[in-house]
Amino acid sequence: MTKKVLVCGAGGFIGCHLVNRLVAEGCWVRGVDLKFPEFSETTAHDFVIGDLRNQSVVQAVVDCRFDEVYQLAADMGGAGYIFTGDHDADIMHNSATINLNIADACYKRNIKRIFYSSSACMYPAYNQEDPNNPNCAEDSAYPANPDSEYGWEKLFSERLYLSYNRNHGMECRIGRYHNIFGPQGTWTGGKEKAPAALCRKVAEADDPGVIDVWGDGSQTRSFLYIDECVEGTIRMLRSDCEVPVNIGSDEMISINNLVRMVASISGKQIEIRNIPGPEGVRGRNSDNTLIREKLGWAPEMPLKDGMARTYSWIAEQVANAR
Ligand code: NAD
């Protein structure tokens, strides 16, 4: 029988790629979002424009017993959005309300399987002060001390879904995403994240040129290409893994080295100017021990391959915008 799937946040970056993959697999997919995908037509069989903060919208969208629900909708953005403090009330209120509504509507339809997209931002800031040695093992989450309200909301919602599992026999699955990037992601306007912002800056720069980079550039991160994120997400939802698991790459790189990688992909000679700006924790890397153990799988694509695909898409957007 055809699987019926609901993707919440299907107009967003990850949601839109996830819908494509599920449709290609032969699932019947309904997407819901405040907006249609920005850079391509949705392939979802049904797409509802609706506000998931509104309980009656959620009840209307969750109108049958879906086999799988992927909950990706959230009020989010890059460092320029979540670390300035200016959007904290919106981030907490909007995302928590969405999750409260979806968990309950699924429970009342007897839907068991929900995938919830948490974030590495829920890990304690005190374990991410050394850029060369961050600790993001899943069991390091407590005592909790995320570095942003965005991270606190993720932690709250993880616990919400785990409570529904415990009290209502649901089988929610939680992935903690670490910096997902790729084509068709936000690349300008303030909500874009580091890989897209750096690709844009390099694509817009002269050759030779100079680009501004937030922080001293020695802060580290890992970045996961979108196709592997989608793969990990689907594997996680279909697994019997009851605990939250990292979905990320363990190829850690400093931000200045990421700029150098993008520059070499572009063929341009780029000088880096490090300037003050929101940068989040000093170091973060995915610890993939648990995902290997639980799913027998972990992401493996080299960062450079994903960055090359992303740079070429963003360079095209920049050229079209001129
Ligand atoms: P995105 O912003 O592109 O997608 C989120 C979507 O949710 C948007 O299309 C937005 O319109 C929608 N949305 C927001 N409020 C809504 C509402 N009230 N009703 C309906 N839809 C609403 O973000 P993304 O990068 O695709 O991320 C998807 C999920 O993964 C989010 O929950 C995010 O917090 C999580 N995550 C992403 C990353 C990453 O690097 N991209 C890292 C960690 C966690």
* DSSP code for 140: G
9, amino acid identity: G
List b or e across 163-197, with b for residues whose CB sees 16 or more CB atoms inside 10 angstroms. Answer: ebbeeeebebbbbbbbbbbbbbbbbeeebbbbbbb
Mind listing the pLDDT tens digit for each residue in 37-87? 999 999 999 999 999 999 999 999 999 999 999 999 999 877 778 888 999
The whole-number pLDDT of residue 81 equals: 83
The DSSP bridge partners found for residue 247 are 177
- Helix (H, G, I), strand (E, B), or coil: what is residue 2? coil
Residue 23 is encoded by which pair of tokens? 């449709």
d(CA 74, CA 77): 9
Q: Calculate how far, in angstroms, residue 70's C-alpha sits from the geometric centre of ligand 1.
A: 11
Q: Calculate how far, in angstroms, residue 22's C-alpha sits from the geometric centre of ligand 1.
A: 18
d(CA 172, CA 207): 49
The CB of 246 under 6 Å from ligand 1? The reply is no
Point out the ligand 1 atom lying closest to the alpha carbon of residue 35: 11
* Active-site residue, from 81, 107, 150, 177: 150
Cα of 27 vs its chain's centroid, Å = 22
- Probe residue for ligand 1, chosen from 20, 47, 61, 76 as the CB with the greatest number of ligand atoms within 8 Å: 76
The whole-number pLDDT of residue 78 equals: 75
The whole-number pLDDT of residue 76 equals: 87
Cα of 50 vs its chain's centroid, Å = 21
Residue 147, CA distances (Å) to 76, 170, 194, 201, 280 in order: 15, 30, 17, 26, 7
Contact 37, 20 (CB under 8 A): no
Query: Given this structure, which CATH class describes domain 185-222+251-283+302-317?
Result: alpha beta
Element (H, E) at 146: none
Point out the ligand 1 atom lying closest to the alpha carbon of residue 154: 34
218, amino acid identity: S
- Residue indicated by tokens 């170091």: 283
Mind listing the pLDDT tens digit for each residue in 284-322? 999 999 999 999 999 999 999 999 999 999 999 999 998
The whole-number pLDDT of residue 211 equals: 96
The whole-number pLDDT of residue 158 equals: 98
The whole-number pLDDT of residue 280 equals: 82
Q: Looking at ligand 1, which residue's alpha carbon is closest to its atom 29?
A: 72
Point out the ligand 1 atom lying closest to the alpha carbon of residue 16: 26
Which residue, 192, 177, 158, is CA-closest to 120? 177
Mind listing the pLDDT tens digit for each residue in 58-69? 999 999 999 999
The whole-number pLDDT of residue 277 equals: 87
Point out the ligand 1 atom lying closest to the alpha carbon of residue 53: 18
Residue 273 is encoded by which pair of tokens? 């100017």
Residue 319, CA distances (Å) to 99, 126, 208 in order: 38, 42, 18
The CB of 94 under 6 Å from ligand 1? The reply is yes
Q: Looking at ligand 1, which residue's alpha carbon is closest to its atom 41?
A: 180
The whole-number pLDDT of residue 1 equals: 86
Q: Calculate how far, in angstroms, residue 208's C-alpha sits from the geometric centre of ligand 1.
A: 36
Residue stretches of the chain with pLDDT short of 50: none
Give the residue extent of every domain in the chain: 4-180+224-247, 185-222+251-283+302-317
Give 139: exposed, middle or buried? Use CB within 10 Å, 0-12, 13-18, 19+: exposed
Residue 31 has phi, psi (to 5 degrees) of -105, 150
Point out the ligand 1 atom lying closest to the alpha carbon of residue 150: 34
Residue 134 is encoded by which pair of tokens? 């961050």
Q: What is the pTM of this model?
A: 0.97
- Say how many residues make up the chain: 322
Active-site residue, 150 included: yes
- Probe residue for ligand 1, chosen from 33, 58, 94 as the CB with the greatest number of ligand atoms within 8 Å: 33
- How many CB atoms sit inside 10 A of residue 144's CB? 14
Q: Calculate how far, in angstroms, residue 117's C-alpha sits from the geometric centre of ligand 1.
A: 9
Q: Degrees (nearest 5) of the Cα angle 171, 177, 178?
A: 160
In three-state form (DSSP H/G/I as H, E/B as E, the rest C), the secondary structure along 54-70 is CHHHHHHHCCCCCCEEE
Residue 300 is encoded by which pair of tokens? 């493996």
The whole-number pLDDT of residue 80 equals: 78
Q: Calculate how far, in angstroms, residue 274's C-alpha sits from the geometric centre of ligand 1.
A: 29
The stretches of 26-87 forming alpha helices (DSSP H) are 55-61, 79-82
The whole-number pLDDT of residue 79 equals: 74
The whole-number pLDDT of residue 183 equals: 98
Q: Calculate how far, in angstroms, residue 206's C-alpha sits from the geometric centre of ligand 1.
A: 33
d(CA 107, CA 62): 10
Looking at the domain that runs over 4-180+224-247, which CATH code has it been given? 3.40.50.720
The whole-number pLDDT of residue 201 equals: 97
d(CA 109, CA 318): 45
Contact 59, 104 (CB under 8 A): no
